[in-house]
Structure 1
Amino acid sequence: MPTPDMTNEQRLAAINNLPKATNASIRHMFAGIDKVLLKDDGVYDDKAMSDTVLLTLTAPEAISRIGQLLEIDETMTGFHCMCLGSYAIELHAHNTIKYIIGLHHGTSIRYSGWNGDAALSKTEELVTFLSEQGLTQPLEEHIQRIKDSEAGETAQRNWLQTAPETFRKHWAQIINMDSDYLSALIQDLHAEIPEQRQRIIALLQTFGKTDKYWSGYPYYESVPEDILKTYKVKDIIHAYLLSDRNYKTRRGLGRFLCSYDFKKIRKNYLNEIPMEVIDDLDKCFEHIGEKRGENEIFSLRKEKEKSLS
């Protein structure tokens, strides 16, 4: 009689009952191994997802070396990466696959006999070794991750320089995506910037500080939008019209009026968005070369014209 499929809860319970990852278990896996294959893509159902072999290691010293470089940090185990991995590492002995390990982003590994993933402790040495053996992509990806991380940190610092001081006070909660900090942040923001119009302009300029207006932006960029949603649209527009209407403010206002959430209700507020504001936003996005922004404002203009006809 076939075994019924387990529920996700049952699968998770079964995984949690497995032993944790250890370096001793990795050494055990490599005992007697005479060939290591690295295949493209990750591992699913204890099998490599691809038949494409990217690297073959048969020299005993190379096999020993990769086994050493797959050393894990035993204090960082038991977590679960959401993907299936970047590469599959097959361990062979006498033309038989003995073990298969998933390599995730060059930073962690997964084995089906463990209760979760394990962080690698020698990432840079591992990807350098693979590059020396002829597989350069993991090293290239590692270098790109470092660049992306550095760029992200720079963008974060620049964003915080634009944001009101209150955001720095609550930064740890923002980054951790805590659910109950927003009301306290708003209260502190009122104390920092008592005048509502100035507060709205500060929020618009903060929301406009981005390289990714419409998607793929870091979570913290949505916080000023969440606060702007607590104001009446007419008050936001009024604050803009009474400001110097600079491009920093225009970027934030354009992003807000064309955001996914606001577009769902925008037809209810078209009478509160003057055509001169739409003209300002159009000029702004055209000036900074934001093509998606130009298209979004074009759609806003059409909606406004239709509401007037």
Structure 2
Amino acid sequence: MTSEAALGEVLRSAARVRVTNGGVSGVRVLGEDVLLEVAEPAAVRQLIQALAVKQTTDGYCMCHGDLAFEFFDRSGRLTAAVGFHHATYLRWSGWDDDATLCDGGAVLRWLAEQGVEGPLAQEEQRQWERHEQRLAEQRWRAAAPAAVSDLLDVAVAAGSTDGLLPEGIHRLVAQRLEEAIPDRVERAGLMLAWFGSGTGRCSGFPVHEALPEPALAETPIAYLIQAMQVYPTDARIDAGAVRHLCGWKTRKQQARDIAKVPAELRIRLLMAARESGDDDKRRRAERWLSTPSRHRQR
């Protein structure tokens, strides 16, 4: 019998299942909130089928799991306790490592059919967020100037490792852009458009999106203003300007620089922030752009 099939054999005698929030450690259930108990034979067998795994992995998920499934035989004896991890892995004390589920979604659908809809809704939300993250990364890559295209993978990879961009990469970006785009207004416009792509958030954004930020910070405000005036219809430039000017300590003389932005441009940027659907960005823009005399980040 393969190790993957061992759990199925153990569960042949299961007559009842209890589902609890939180995962398992060995055979100990870590959560206290019981979400569901099922003793209907067909439903129990359906769950066991949904918990089928492809193969064991070479390691453990770093958490204890989202849910615990405790299976009991007809006498009430615990036959197995398994941890359910992110609709992807299953943990059982009979395996040395976690196992990959054949179809984690089948488990979530089973729970929803039993009236526990939260885990399925949460997974659908996570899938939507992952999809949006992929789209944001695609936009960010597409907006990047060709002169730095070979640095993009390095920056993106930093987000899945230590979260720090490699030392010297910001200086290299600034140098490459200066050499490739000598016109300072054009360069400012391209950097704003790049910075305005991706998620566009002022905080909580992927680390790679900060790649052009230091070069923008060193760009005199006059060139940023000219870029906004020269390219009045590029929404990415407006988004990048809001993100840069209204972010946290993005310029050495942030308040003074914003005070130099003409009123009509401040109105345009404020409108862009309000139309973005991002409440954090809107609040920042209203704080910085609405009244020049009150430009203070709080």
Kept in 2: contact 1:200–1:236 (CA 8 A): no
Q: Distance in 1 between matches of 2:174 and 2:60?
A: 34
Gaps of 5+ in 1: 1-20
Kept in 2: contact 1:92–1:99 (CA 8 A): yes
CA distances 1:60-87 after superposition (whole Å, capped 9, x unpaired): x5434433432334364414244x4332
User: Which of the residues 269, 272, 294 maps onto 1:284?
Assistant: 269
Kept in 1: contact 2:19–2:70 (CA 8 A): yes
The RMSD of aligned alpha carbons is 3.6
1:90 matched to 2:70? The reply is yes
Question: How many percent of aligned residue pairs carry the same amino acid?
Answer: 21
Cα 1:192–1:26, aligned 2, differ >3 Å: closer, same or farther? farther
Kept in 2: contact 1:254–1:281 (CA 8 A): no
1:49 matched to 2:31? The reply is yes
Equivalent runs, 1:84-233 vs 2, <5 Å = 84-93=64-73, 94-111=75-92, 116-166=97-147, 168-177=149-158, 179-180=165-166, 182=169, 185-229=173-217, 231=218
Gaps of 5+ in 2: none
Kept in 1: contact 2:82–2:90 (CA 8 A): yes
**1:107 Cα offset (Å):** 1.9
Q: Distance in 1 between matches of 2:236 and 2:248?
A: 20
**1:40 Cα offset (Å):** 3.3
CA distances 1:100-135 after superposition (whole Å, capped 9, x unpaired): 222122222234665554332222333334444544
**1:185 Cα offset (Å):** 4.8
Output the amino acid matched with 1:33. Answer: A
Equivalent runs, 1:265-284 vs 2, <5 Å = 268-277=253-262, 280-284=265-269
**1:37 Cα offset (Å):** 1.5
Kept in 2: contact 1:203–1:228 (CA 8 A): yes
Instruction: Give the length in aligned residue pairs.
Output: 278
Output the amino acid matched with 1:293. Answer: K
1:254 matched to 2:242? The reply is yes
TM-score by length of 1: 0.71
Q: Distance in 2 between matches of 1:278 and 1:26?
A: 68
Secondary structure (helix, strand or coil) at the match of 2:281 reads helix
TM-score by length of 2: 0.73
1:37 matched to 2:18? The reply is yes
CA distances 1:242-273 after superposition (whole Å, capped 9, x unpaired): 224335323212212322343xx75x453344
Kept in 2: contact 1:22–1:72 (CA 8 A): no
